[in-house]
Structure 1
Amino acid sequence: MQIPNGWPRRRWAWVAGLGVAALLVLTVMDLGQHYHVPLGAVFALAIARALALGLAWLRPRLAVVVSLFTTAVTAALTTPVASSEPWPWGTTAAFGHSFVLAIAGARGLGRRELVGWWVATQAVGIVAIELAPDRGSWSSLIAMAVLSAAAVVVGDLLRSRAETNRRLAEQETISKAERAERERLQERARIARELHDVVAHHLSVVVVRADSAPHRLPDVPDAVRAEFTGIADEARASLTEMRRVLRLLREPVQQTGELGPQPGLDQLAELVESTRRAGADVQLVGEVPSGFDPAVELTAYRVVQEGLSNAVRHALHAAVQVAVRRRTGELEVTVQNEKPPRPVVPAPGSGHGLTGMRERVALLDGTVSAGPTPEGGYLVHALIPVGEEMASGDHGHGR
């Protein structure tokens, strides 16, 4: 792929301009002092030589054509003042043409094309010696052959380096875009999970409390009963709409971390109590250990939260038991409800809760099982590895 051409910028623009001017002056001095050539031709050839060098930055192929043509015309119009002077290639001709080849190569001419121009240059020198053997010798072609060959190599290396840098820059841009996209998807997954774990839980509690209020409160007027029914219906509709949004937000991206303050096992009793206030028969069995890694406590809290949400949606009037126990190297979390005494119309669900719970526990190399019990109830059971370390202040919290 060709590299975009253009005149150098900043300080290199001055370097390029001075190089063109220097080649113009040196060509005039070289031709005027070491060769028999009319003065008008000296300036014309010097201007053509400088023009070719300037064009090398802007139009590489045209620059090589102009340079080689100028070199051939210079050989045809000049005669050395002494046999020691190089011919057909003068000093400025050899260096000027080599610089043009190097810059043209750096500006995008391919390797094969550069080699072709190098061959054409040597061919011009051979023809010149054949036509005017008295002006020079075969050995005078060596300098041009070596200089132009070095120019071809340098030009090709510069072009390859520029292309490599461009590809690295493109790859870095792609990598940044991929990282940004990955972070975006992770954030979407985090938002979806937190919406379900927090908002869905509380909306489920609203539904349950509104549905059960006419049964829990004595002498509820019909107007109030209808109001409770409307609240429950609106909350169910909100749950449905929110879960539609969750389907758009959730992506198959692993969660890498949590942002902001997160609940732990210290808040478990409060969670159970809030669910009990909604009318559910929930008991926190035994003492709740603490002092674990925050990620472990957060995961255990979310398992209980999701288990309770499922219980109040599908078995409101059934007794629910929550237990968190420390085993050897593991934290065991269970949420089990008995068979509901009467059928319950569950609030709408999306299945994201159990999926998110399994993902959370799997990130800590734990396991989760959830399913009906032989007695007709439902059991959520999680084992979360915690290692042998525990804070020295390990203690329990009752209900």
Structure 2
Amino acid sequence: MQIPKSWPRGRWAWAAGGGVVALLVLTVMDLRQHYEVPLGAVLALALARALALGLSWLRPRAAVVVSLVTTAVTATVTTPLAPSEPWPWGTTAAFGHSFVVAIAGARGLGRREQVGWWVATQAVGVVAIELAPDRGGWGGLLTMAVLSAVAVVVGDLVRSRRETARRLAEQEAVSRTERAERKALQERARIARELHDVVAHHLSVVVVRADSAPHRLPDVPDKVRAEFMGIAEEARASLTEMRRVLRLLREEEPQPGELEPQPGLEQVNELVESTRRAGADVRLAGAVPTGFDPAVELTAYRVVQEGLSNAVRHALHASVVVSVRRTSTELEVRVENERPPRPVVPAPGSGQGLRGMRERVALVDGTVRAGPTPVGGYLVHAFIPVGEEVASDDHGARG
């Protein structure tokens, strides 16, 4: 994850600047009072220590290198004034280096890289004790080991929290886009229903009456019979075009042969994987069947998509199980999440997602139900027919 490498802003800028100055002053006081070291070396080491802390916000990796080198040089040039003084890691060295490691971790260093720097730090301490055992003992390494380990954990937690927040913000942006698209789709669906209920119905009546007129009316001349046949053929052609218009109005994505292919059941694995990468605990149960009518596959895909979107918004830390399987005549789609391990403040939503999903499933004569489970989770459960009557082109105008 790319985290902006910049100096903190607002009140945090003052806090960061104060921390750098405080570390500079405390390092000078610590080295002058507790160790034998020339004044020039004290000032140089204090400036290097403060520089490392300042760099931790701007250049995390460089900051850790400067801090570790400064810590090693400090151990080399200092001699404790009393056996009770900590060595090879002084108080300001241990705390200053740990702060640098924690901030650098929060600013983008990976977990393995942080652990590597922790190991390098302890190795420097071991070498110092081996080379100068008269200045200190092995107990002097404990403080740095504990503090730097805590720094690694804190840095990793802060970085993970930022990454999760970024992914949630991206998911919310996607959700807003989807809600806007659903509004447009609902309007198109309303127009399609009006056309289906009014125009397509009357065209069907015209076809039936024109076909049956020569048989219902006595002594129909041949010219009139031919005219009725022409009317019936024209009405059938108009009805066919109407069905195509209805199909276009009811589809959210471009049709094959237009801008791009529609998603189907083959993309369910990618959908689950992308949701998992966003931090959700999602599992796909069993293999996903394919080879159905594109309208059926698109509907099943959207059911899974909406179910996962709801689970991420309302139960982010709960486990989610997705399953898609075929029965004898139906495609069964389930998206079920467990009860969240801790209370979650749900992301705001328009409530149109479930309504749009029900309308989409109803267009292919399917059924869907969504609601809480007895154990505190949530279940989206859809059944989509896969018979010929659903896959045929005539379904778009059936009443």
Shorter-chain-normalised TM-score: which range?
0.5 to 0.7
Q: Residues 200 and 239 of structure 2 are in contact (CA less than 8 Å); yes or no, is this contact kept in structure 1?
A: no
1:100 aligns with 2:100: yes
Q: Secondary structure at the match of 1:349?
A: helix
Q: Partner residue of 2:317? A: none
Q: How much has 1:66 moved relative to structure 2?
A: 0.1
Q: How much has 1:361 moved relative to structure 2?
A: 11
Q: Partner residue of 2:71? A: 71
Identify if the C-alpha distance between structure 1 residues 310 and 129 changes in structure 2 by more than 3 Å, giving closer, same or farther: same
In 2, the alpha carbon distance for the partners of 1:158 and 1:381 equals 57
1:307 aligns with 2:196: no
Q: Residues 2 and 109 of structure 1 are in contact (CA less than 8 Å); yes or no, is this contact kept in structure 2?
A: no
Give the alignment's Cα RMSD to 1 decimal. 3.3
Query: Counterpart of 2:125 in structure 1: which amino acid?
Result: G
Q: Residues 26 and 92 of structure 1 are in contact (CA less than 8 Å); yes or no, is this contact kept in structure 2?
A: yes
In 2, the alpha carbon distance for the partners of 1:109 and 1:361 equals 50
Query: Aligned runs of 1:1-399 on 2, under 5 Å?
Result: 1-194=1-194, 196=195, 302=197, 306-312=200-206, 315=209, 342=225, 343-344=227-228, 345=230, 346=234, 349-351=238-240
In structure 2, stretches of 5+ residues that fail to align are 248-361, 369-396
Q: How much has 1:353 moved relative to structure 2?
A: 5.0
- What percentage of aligned pairs have identical amino acids? 68
In 2, the alpha carbon distance for the partners of 1:131 and 1:364 equals 77
In 1, the alpha carbon distance for the partners of 2:163 and 2:242 equals 50
Q: Secondary structure at the match of 2:139?
A: helix
In 2, the alpha carbon distance for the partners of 1:88 and 1:160 equals 32
Query: Counterpart of 1:349 in structure 2: which amino acid?
Result: S
Q: How much has 1:72 moved relative to structure 2?
A: 0.7
Q: How much has 1:171 moved relative to structure 2?
A: 2.0
Query: Counterpart of 2:202 in structure 1: which amino acid?
Result: L
Q: Secondary structure at the match of 1:135?
A: coil
Q: Structure 1 segments of 4 or more deviating over 4 A?
A: 312-319, 337-341, 352-357, 359-365
Q: Summarize deviations over 1:332-359 as a string: whole Å, max 9, x none.
A: xxxxx957963244355143656869x7
Q: Normalised by the size of structure 2, how large is the TM-score? A: 0.54
Identify if the C-alpha distance between structure 1 residues 171 and 134 changes in structure 2 by more than 3 Å, giving closer, same or farther: same
Q: How much has 1:190 moved relative to structure 2?
A: 2.8
In 2, the alpha carbon distance for the partners of 1:16 and 1:29 equals 20
In 2, the alpha carbon distance for the partners of 1:364 and 1:77 equals 78
Q: Secondary structure at the match of 1:108?
A: coil
Q: How much has 1:141 moved relative to structure 2?
A: 0.8
In 1, the alpha carbon distance for the partners of 2:18 and 2:128 equals 31
In 2, the alpha carbon distance for the partners of 1:20 and 1:52 equals 9
Q: Summarize deviations over 1:130-175 as a string: whole Å, max 9, x none.
A: 1111211111111011111111111111122222222222222222
Q: Residues 103 and 155 of structure 2 are in contact (CA less than 8 Å); yes or no, is this contact kept in structure 1?
A: yes
In 2, the alpha carbon distance for the partners of 1:338 and 1:360 equals 35
Q: Aligned pair count?
A: 245
Q: Partner residue of 2:351? A: none
Q: Which has the greater radius of gyration?
A: 1
Q: How much has 1:180 moved relative to structure 2?
A: 2.4
Which piece of structure 1 moves more, 33-42 or 96-105?
Answer: 33-42
Q: Summarize deviations over 1:346-380 as a string: whole Å, max 9, x none.
A: 355143656869x7896999xxxxxxxxxxxxxx9
